[in-house]
C-alpha cells in the first residue's frame, strides 16, 4: 500500500510539473526573471521527482517488487542526473542572456522543451507501469 502511495505521489509530481512547465513556454526567456523562474521551477521538480521516486523504490523493494523498485530507482537516478546536467546549463545560459548574447535565448528554450519532453516520457512510463501492475494484480 505504501508503494502505491508513493507511486501516486510520483505520478502527481510529474503531472503537476508537466502542466506547469508547458505554459512557461510563453515566456520569452529574455529577461533574467523569466530564466530564473524556469530554472527554480525545474530545480524544485527534479528534487521532488527524485525524492518521490526514491521513496517509491524503497517501498517496492520492501514489498518484494524488485522490478518496480529498479524502475523507480532508475527514475530517481534520472532526476538526480538531470538536475546536475540541466541546471548548470540553464545557469550558464542565464548569464549569457543577461550579457545580451542573442543565441542564448533559443538555447535556453530548447533546454526547456527537451526537459518537458523528458517529463512526458517519464510520465508515460509511470502510467504504463501502473497499468502493468494492475494487470499483474488481476492475474
Q: How do residues 45-69 score in pLDDT, each as one tens digit?
A: 999 999 999 999 999 999 998 988 9
Report pLDDT for 24: 86
CB 36 within 8 A of CB 94: yes
How many distinct structural domains can be found in the chain? 1
Who has greater pLDDT, 131 or 123? Answer: 123
Alpha-carbon torsion (62, 132, 71, 6), positive or negative: negative
Which structural domain range is residue 72 located in?
2-138
Q: Which residues contact 139 (CB under 8 A, 6 or more apart)?
A: none
**How many residues in the chain?**
139
Q: How confident is the model at residue 28 (pLDDT cuts 50, 70, 90)?
A: confident
Whether the per-residue pLDDT at 112 is higher than 90: the answer is yes
Amino acid at each position: 500500500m505504501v508503494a502505491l502511495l508513493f507511486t501516486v505521489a510520483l505520478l502527481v509530481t510529474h503531472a503537476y510539473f508537466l502542466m506547469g512547465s508547458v505554459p512557461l513556454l510563453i515566456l520569452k526567456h529574455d529577461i533574467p526573471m523569466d530564466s530564473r523562474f524556469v530554472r527554480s521551477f525545474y530545480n524544485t521538480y527534479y528534487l521532488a521527482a527524485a525524492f518521490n521516486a526514491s521513496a517509491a523504490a524503497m517501498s517496492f523493494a520492501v514489498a518484494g517488487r524488485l522490478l518496480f523498485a529498479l524502475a523507480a530507482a532508475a527514475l530517481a537516478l534520472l532526476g538526480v542526473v538531470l538536475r546536475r546536467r540541466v541546471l548548470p546549463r540553464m545557469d550558464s545560459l542565464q548569464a549569457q542572456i543577461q550579457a545580451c548574447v542573442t543565441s542564448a535565448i533559443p538555447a535556453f528554450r530548447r533546454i526547456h522543451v527537451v526537459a518537458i519532453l523528458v517529463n512526458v516520457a517519464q510520465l508515460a512510463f509511470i502510467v504504463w507501469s501502473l497499468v502493468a501492475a494492475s494487470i499483474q494484480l488481476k492475474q
